[in-house]
């Protein structure tokens, strides 16, 4: 009771009841002294019932406050069904919403921390290997009796490693922008052939050096962000080039129907193993053959982020006659 009266509102309510009781008892005494005892008992009963109801509500609110305090200190278990409907139902509903929101935010923060830690570990792992190679090459270049031909070979390797690191950092920056949602895709109409020609332009020279044949077949127009779509398709074609033997063939076909625009990329390589197929679009995932070729495992992941960001889909499978098949679709409307 002493704790209850520390509450200012309860103390005021109790004072008002006592004041009214005194007035009632005084009025009864002045009107008829025989009414003094019944009036006194009636006022005492009303005051007791009033204070008892306040006490019950005060205890329930105190319990709810204790539950909220436990949640704020890391305990995520609370049973709101213990609180009956009625007097504090509205408060219960609002606190329930707040609890759900806090749980969601805590879960999202935990996932973000794990994702950030994993990403930093992956990036560190990917950069460490070429940096180690660069250190070795630089130490070899410092040898005074190195021949001119050997020095040229080392510089060429050094240039290649620096280019790989530059490509990796550029790709990671693009992925981080896509993750953060700061990239806005701007659709424009372009013929599918022009899109495919632009996308394949960066890989034409290395394909010629490998003696590989590139076939582009396309018809119709497509509406997409040209620059980013070229980035996605170019990464897929580059992946096919790396997994196709010298003298092989890569075919890029595009067409459009009433529902979607489809781009199918096939190669004459060894195809994708069943173990790699479910993970091939995962970030930093490298299949058995990719590890041999020194890939970073982010080209296809970046391609998927770009395609799905434009209301599209992408999937990989093996062709019946051998080789890998990548199917990219840009839908005309939300599916």
Q: What is the pLDDT of residues 53-101, one digit of tens each?
A: 888 878 777 777 777 777 667 666 656 555 555 556 667 777 777 777 8
| 294 has a pLDDT exceeding 60 | no
Q: Which one of 88-97, 112-121, 229-238, 266-275 scores highest in mean pLDDT?
A: 229-238
Average pLDDT over residues 112-133: 80
pLDDT in tens, 312-334: 999 999 988 888 999 999 998 65
| 108 has a pLDDT exceeding 60 | yes
Q: For the chain, count helices (H), then strands (E).
A: 8, 7
pLDDT in tens, 4-40: 667 777 788 888 888 888 888 888 888 888 888 888 8
CA dihedral (103, 105, 107, 110) positive or negative: negative
Average pLDDT over residues 102-123: 82
Query: What is the model's pTM?
Result: 0.65
Given pLDDT bands bounded at 50, 70 and 90, which one contains residue 335? very low
* Span of 151-155, 159-163, 175-179, 244-248 with lowest mean pLDDT: 175-179
CB contact set of 159 (below 8 Å; sequence gap of 6+):
none
How are the residues of the chain apportioned to helix, strand and coil, as percentages rounded to the nearest 5?
A: 65, 15, 25
CA nearest to 268, candidates 291, 245, 299: 245
Q: What percent of the chain has pLDDT over 90?
A: 27
> What's the pLDDT score for residue 306?
93
């Amino acid at each position: 009771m002493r704790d209850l009266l520390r509450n200012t509102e309860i103390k005021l309510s109790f004072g008002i009841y006592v004041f009214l009781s005194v007035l009632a008892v005084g009025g009864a005494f002045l009107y008829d002294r025989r009414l003094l005892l019944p009036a006194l008992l009636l006022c005492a009963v009303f005051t007791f019932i009033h204070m008892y109801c306040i006490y019950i509500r005060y205890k329930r609110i105190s319990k709810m406050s204790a539950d909220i305090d436990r949640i704020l200190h890391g305990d995520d278990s609370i049973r709101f069904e213990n609180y009956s409907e009625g007097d504090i139902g509205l408060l219960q509903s609002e606190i329930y919403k707040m609890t759900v929101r806090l749980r969601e935010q805590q879960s999202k923060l935990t996932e973000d921390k794990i994702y950030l830690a994993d990403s930093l570990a992956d990036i560190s792992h990917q950069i460490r290997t070429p940096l180690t190679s660069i250190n070795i090459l630089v130490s070899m270049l410092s040898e005074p009796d190195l021949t001119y031909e050997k020095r040229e070979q080392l510089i060429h390797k050094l240039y290649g490693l620096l280019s790989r690191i530059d490509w990796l950092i550029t790709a990671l920056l693009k992925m981080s922008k896509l993750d953060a949602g700061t990239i806005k895709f701007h659709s424009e109409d372009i013929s599918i052939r022009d899109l495919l020609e632009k996308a394949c332009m960066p890989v034409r020279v290395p394909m010629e050096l490998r003696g590989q044949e590139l076939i582009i077949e396309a018809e119709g127009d497509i509406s997409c962000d040209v620059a980013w779509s070229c980035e996605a398709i170019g990464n897929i074609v580059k992946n096919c080039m790396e997994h196709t033997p010298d003298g092989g063939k890569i075919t890029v076909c595009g067409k459009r129907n009433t529902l979607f625009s489809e781009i199918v990329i096939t190669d004459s390589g060894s195809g994708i193993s069943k173990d790699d197929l479910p993970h091939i679009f995962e970030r930093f995932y490298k299949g058995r053959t990719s590890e041999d070729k020194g890939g970073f495992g982010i080209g296809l992941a970046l391609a998927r982020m770009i395609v799905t960001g434009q209301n599209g889909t992408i999937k990989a499978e093996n062709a019946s006659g051998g080789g890998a098949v990548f199917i990219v679709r840009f839908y005309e409307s939300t599916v």
